[in-house]
Amino acid sequence: ELLTRADAHPRIVCRIEEDNAMAGLVAAGYGVAIMPDFYLLKYYAVERIPIADKADRRYLFMAVHNRHNMLPVVERFRNFVLARGRNTEA
């Protein structure tokens, strides 16, 4: 719903319920994740990008691998989120 309201239609290939597993996959370079913030995220090699959404009452973040050689599609999605979703109050 959050992505639909933003007119974003990413190809979702995996859904994971466990935050540590999700952060681990992102840190290993397997894509990006829209996820709630959790205290262990700071220990993973990911960039934490706050996402603002007035209709959503949770604090959400996008985690991306912090390597410089990102796939172009990941870079474009990261830039999309930064342009449209960054929480200016964070």
Rama region for 24: left / alpha / beta (φ>0; ψ in -120 to 50; rest):
alpha
Domain boundaries, given as residue ranges, for the chain: 2-85
Token pair 């960054």 is found at 86
- Tens digit of pLDDT for each residue in 34-85? 888 788 888 999 888 887 765 556 556 677 777 667 788 888 888 887 787 6
Q: Can you tell me the distance from the alpha carbon of 74 to that of 64, in angstroms, rounded to the nearest whole number?
A: 8
pTM exceeding 0.95: no
Tokens of 67: 């390597």
Q: Tokens for 69?
A: 């050689």
Bridge partners (DSSP) listed for residue 62: 34, 49
